Structure 1
Amino acid sequence: MRMKFSFILSLLYCLTLQSQRVYQPKDSILLSQKIAALPDYKSLTLEKTILAIGKTYLETPYVEQTLEVAADEPLVINQQGLDCTTFLENVLALAHTAQQDTINWEQFVSTLETIRYRNGIRDGYTSRLHYFTEWIKDNQRKGLVKDITNELGGISLEKSINFMGTHRDLYPHLKDNDANYQKILAAESQLAMEEICYLPQNKIRKAEANLQTGDIVALATNIKGLDVTHTGILVKKPNGRIYLLHASSKQKKVVLSTVPLVDYLKSIKSNIGIIVARPV
Structure 2
Amino acid sequence: MRIIVRIVLVLAALLCAGAPALATPAVIDETTGRKIDELLAVRAESPGLSRPDLIERLSARLLGTPYGANMLVGSATTAEELVVDLRRVDCFTFLDYIDAASRATDRGRFLDELVANRYIDSRVEFTQRKHFFTDWAARERVAATDITATLSPAALTTTKHLNAKADGSTYLPGVPVLDRAVTHIPSEAVDAAVLAGLRTGDYLGAYTPAAGLDVTHVGIIVTTPTGPVFRNASSLAQTYRVVDTPLADYLRTVPGIVVLRPL
**TM-score range with shorter-chain normalisation?**
0.7 to 0.9
2:210 match: 223
Structure 1, residues 36-92: CA drift from partner, whole Å, max 9, x if none?
A: 356732221101100000000011000011112682212111111100000011001
- 5+ residue gaps, structure 2: 9-23
Sort the Cα spacing of 1:127 and 1:142 in 2 relative to 1 into closer, same or farther, 3 A. closer
Letter in 1 for 2:88: G
- Give matches, 1:135-214, under 5 Å: 135-138=136-139, 142-153=141-152, 154-163=155-164, 166-168=168-170, 174=173, 181=174, 184-185=175-176, 188=177, 191-192=178-179, 194-205=180-191, 206-214=193-201
Counterparts of 1:92 and 1:148, CA distance in 2: 18
Residue correspondences, number = 239
Q: Please give the alpha-carbon distance, in whole angstroms, between the structure 2 residues aligned to 1:26 and 1:147.
A: 34
Q: Structure 2 length normalisation: TM-score? A: 0.82
CA 1:210–1:113: 2 relative to 1, 3 Å: same
Cα shift readout 1:174-230 (whole Å, capped 9, x = no counterpart): 3xxxxxx2xx12xx2xx31x3221111122223011110000001101223221100
Residues in 1 aligned to 2:43 and 2:7: alpha-carbon distance in whole angstroms: 30
- Percent pairwise identity: 28
1:14 corresponds to which residue? Answer: 4
Aligned partner letter, 2:190: I
Give the corresponding residue for 1:88. 95
**Match 1:78 to one of 73, 77, 85:** 85
Q: Take 1:279 and 1:198, find their aligned partners in 2: how far apart are those partners? A: 17
One-letter code of the match for 1:199?
Answer: I
Which segment drifts farther, 147-156 or 16-25?
Answer: 16-25
Is 1:256 aligned to 2:244, yes or no? yes
When the two chains are superposed, the root-mean-square deviation of aligned CA atoms in Å is: 2.4
Q: Is the 8 A contact 1:214 1:279 kept in 2?
A: yes
TM-score (norm 1): 0.78
The structure whose residues are more often strand, as a share, is 2
> Contact 1:221–1:272 (CA<8 Å) still a contact in 2?
yes
Structure 1: stretches of 5+ with no match in the other structure: 1-11, 98-102, 175-180
2:128 matches 1:116 = no
In 1, Cα distance between equivalents of 2:200 and 2:58? 12
The corresponding residue for 1:265 is 251
- Alpha-carbon distance in structure 1 between the residues aligned to 2:66 and 2:44: 25
Give the secondary structure class of the aligned counterpart of 1:66. coil
Which structure's residues are more often helix, by fraction? 1
